[in-house]
A and B are shown apart, each in its own frame.
Chain A
Amino acid sequence: MEVLFFASVVGYFAATMLQTAGVALNREKLRKAAYGLFAAAFLLHTAFTAWRGVEAGRLPLANQFEFASGFAWSAAVMGLMLYGRMKQEWIKTVSMPVAFLVLSYAAFQPMEIKELMPALRSTWFALHIGSATFSYASFAIAGGMGLHYLIMLRKGHSEGETRMKQTDYMTYRLICLGFLLLTVVILSGAIWAEQAWSRWWSWDPKETWALITWILYAIYLHQRMRMKWQGKRMAWFAVIAVICVLFTFAGVNKLLPGLHSYAV
Chain B
Amino acid sequence: MKKMIRYLRSMQFGMLLLALVMACSFAGSMIVQQREPMEYVTRYGETWAQVILFLGLDDVFSAPFFLLLMAGLCLNLTLCSLVRLPKTIRAGKALLQRAENAQDVQPLDEGQREKLIGYFRARRYRCTERNGKNVYVKNLAGFYGSFLTHLSFLLILAVGAAAVLTAEVTDRAVMPGETVTLEDGVRVTVEAFQIVDETGRLDYASRLCAETEDGTKRARKEIRVNEPLGFEGYKIYQQTYGTAGSVRIDNLANGASEVMLLTESCFLTLDGRNGMFFQALYPGYVTAEDGSVTLITSTSGAYDDPVYDVLSVADGTMTPVLAFPDETLTIGDVSFTLLEPVSYPGLRIKHMNAAVLGALYAVFALLVAALYLCFFMTPVAVCVNENGYAVISPKTQTGLMIELEALLGEENA
Task: Using CB atoms and an 8 Å cutoff, list the residues of chain A in contact with chain B.
Answer: 115, 117-119, 121-124, 162, 165-166, 168-169, 173, 176-177, 179-180, 183-184, 187, 190-192, 195-198, 200-201, 203, 205, 208-209, 211-212, 215-216, 218-219, 222-223, 225-228, 252, 256
- Give me 15 A-to-B residue pairs in the complex whose CB atoms sit less than 8 angstroms apart, sorted by A's number: A115-B202, A119-B225, A165-B398, A176-B376, A177-B375, A180-B371, A196-B225, A197-B239, A203-B28, A209-B29, A215-B22, A216-B22, A223-B15, A252-B29, A256-B30
Task: State which of B48-56, B87-95, B328-336, B361-369 sits at the interface with chain A.
Answer: B361-369
Q: Are the C-beta atoms of A208 and B29 separated by less than 8 Å?
A: yes
Least Cβ distance of A90 to chain B in Å?
Answer: 13
Least Cβ distance of B290 to chain A in Å?
Answer: 32
Q: Are the C-beta atoms of A211 and B25 separated by less than 8 Å?
A: yes
Interface centre among B15, B33, B201, B361 (most CB of A within 10 A): B15
Q: Are the C-beta atoms of B235 and A198 separated by less than 8 Å?
A: yes
Given contacts A215-B21, A219-B18, 19 further A-B contacts (CB under 8 A): A115-B202, A117-B202, A118-B202, A118-B225, A118-B226, A122-B226, A169-B399, A180-B376, A196-B225, A198-B235, A198-B237, A200-B163, A203-B28, A205-B29, A212-B26, A216-B22, A219-B15, A228-B396, A252-B29
Per-position 1/0 for B340-379, Cβ under 8 A of A: 0000000010100000000011001001100110011000
**Which residue of chain A lies nearest to B235 when distances are taken between CB atoms in the complex?**
A198
Q: How far is the CA of A205 from the CA of B398 in the complex (A)?
A: 38
The residues of A that contact B202 with a CB separation of less than 8 Å are 115, 117-118
Q: How far is the CA of A177 from the CA of B375 in the complex (A)?
A: 8
Q: How far is the CA of A212 from the CA of B30 in the complex (A)?
A: 13
The residues of A that contact B164 with a CB separation of less than 8 Å are 200
Q: How far is the CA of A115 from the CA of B399 in the complex (A)?
A: 45
The residues of B that contact A196 with a CB separation of less than 8 Å are 225-226, 237
Q: How far is the CA of A216 from the CA of B19 in the complex (A)?
A: 8
Q: How far is the CA of A123 from the CA of B227 in the complex (A)?
A: 10
Contact residues of A: prevailing secondary structure: helix
B283 at the A interface (CB under 8 A): no
The residues of A that contact B28 with a CB separation of less than 8 Å are 203, 208
Within 8 A of A (CB), among B45-64: 61
The residues of B that contact A228 with a CB separation of less than 8 Å are 396
The residues of B that contact A209 with a CB separation of less than 8 Å are 25, 29
Contact of A162 among B21, B350, B410 (CB under 8 A): B410
The residues of B that contact A227 with a CB separation of less than 8 Å are 11
Given A117-B202, A169-B398, also A198-B169 (CB < 8 A):
yes
Task: Using CB atoms and an 8 Å cutoff, list the residues of chain B in contact with chain A.
Answer: 11, 14-15, 18-19, 21-22, 25-26, 28-30, 33, 61, 146, 160, 163-164, 169, 201-204, 224-228, 235, 237, 239, 348, 350, 360-361, 364, 367-368, 371-372, 375-376, 395-396, 398-399, 402, 405, 410
**Which residue of chain B lies nearest to A184 when distances are taken between CB atoms in the complex?**
B368
Q: How far is the CA of A212 from the CA of B399 in the complex (A)?
A: 29
Q: How far is the CA of A149 from the CA of B2 in the complex (A)?
A: 42
The residues of B that contact A222 with a CB separation of less than 8 Å are 11, 14-15
The residues of B that contact A123 with a CB separation of less than 8 Å are 226
Q: Are the C-beta atoms of A115 and B18 separated by less than 8 Å?
A: no
**Which residue of chain A lies nearest to B18 when distances are taken between CB atoms in the complex?**
A215
Least Cβ distance of B131 to chain A in Å?
Answer: 32
Least Cβ distance of B16 to chain A in Å?
Answer: 10
Q: Are the C-beta atoms of B367 and A183 separated by less than 8 Å?
A: yes
The residues of A that contact B203 with a CB separation of less than 8 Å are 118
The residues of B that contact A191 with a CB separation of less than 8 Å are 361, 364
**Which residue of chain A lies nearest to B376 when distances are taken between CB atoms in the complex?**
A176
Q: Are the C-beta atoms of B226 and A203 separated by less than 8 Å?
A: no
**Which residue of chain B lies nearest to A223 when distances are taken between CB atoms in the complex?**
B15
**Which residue of chain B lies nearest to A213 when distances are taken between CB atoms in the complex?**
B22
Q: How far is the CA of A198 from the CA of B398 in the complex (A)?
A: 45
Q: How far is the CA of A226 from the CA of B374 in the complex (A)?
A: 13
**Which residue of chain A lies nearest to B163 when distances are taken between CB atoms in the complex?**
A200
Q: How far is the CA of A222 from the CA of B153 in the complex (A)?
A: 15
**Which residue of chain A lies nearest to B19 when distances are taken between CB atoms in the complex?**
A219
Least Cβ distance of A210 to chain B in Å?
Answer: 10
The residues of B that contact A208 with a CB separation of less than 8 Å are 25, 28-29
Q: How far is the CA of A124 from the CA of B227 in the complex (A)?
A: 12
Given A118-B202, A212-B22, A225-B395, also A190-B405 (CB < 8 A):
no
Contact of B226 among A173, A195, A223 (CB under 8 A): A195
Least Cβ distance of A83 to chain B in Å?
Answer: 15
Least Cβ distance of B397 to chain A in Å?
Answer: 10
The residues of A that contact B376 with a CB separation of less than 8 Å are 176, 180
The residues of A that contact B372 with a CB separation of less than 8 Å are 180
**Which residue of chain B lies nearest to A124 when distances are taken between CB atoms in the complex?**
B226
Contact of A180 among B15, B224, B368, B398 (CB under 8 A): B368
Q: How far is the CA of A212 from the CA of B21 in the complex (A)?
A: 8
**Which residue of chain A lies nearest to B349 when distances are taken between CB atoms in the complex?**
A198
The residues of A that contact B395 with a CB separation of less than 8 Å are 225
Contact of B368 among A119, A176, A183, A190 (CB under 8 A): A183
**Which residue of chain B lies nearest to A169 when distances are taken between CB atoms in the complex?**
B398
The residues of B that contact A212 with a CB separation of less than 8 Å are 22, 25-26, 29
Contact of B29 among A118, A173, A256 (CB under 8 A): A256
**Which residue of chain A lies nearest to B348 when distances are taken between CB atoms in the complex?**
A198
**Which residue of chain B lies nearest to A173 when distances are taken between CB atoms in the complex?**
B399
Q: How far is the CA of A21 from the CA of B377 in the complex (A)?
A: 39
The residues of B that contact A162 with a CB separation of less than 8 Å are 402, 405, 410
Given A196-B226, A198-B169, A212-B22, also A118-B204 (CB < 8 A):
yes
Contact of A187 among B163, B364, B375, B405 (CB under 8 A): B364
Least Cβ distance of B197 to chain A in Å?
Answer: 10
Q: How far is the CA of A166 from the CA of B204 in the complex (A)?
A: 53
Q: How far is the CA of A168 from the CA of B61 in the complex (A)?
A: 37
Q: How far is the CA of A190 from the CA of B164 in the complex (A)?
A: 13
The residues of A that contact B350 with a CB separation of less than 8 Å are 198
Given A180-B368, A184-B368, A187-B368, also A200-B398 (CB < 8 A):
no
Q: How far is the CA of A195 from the CA of B239 in the complex (A)?
A: 10
Q: Are the C-beta atoms of A115 and B375 separated by less than 8 Å?
A: no
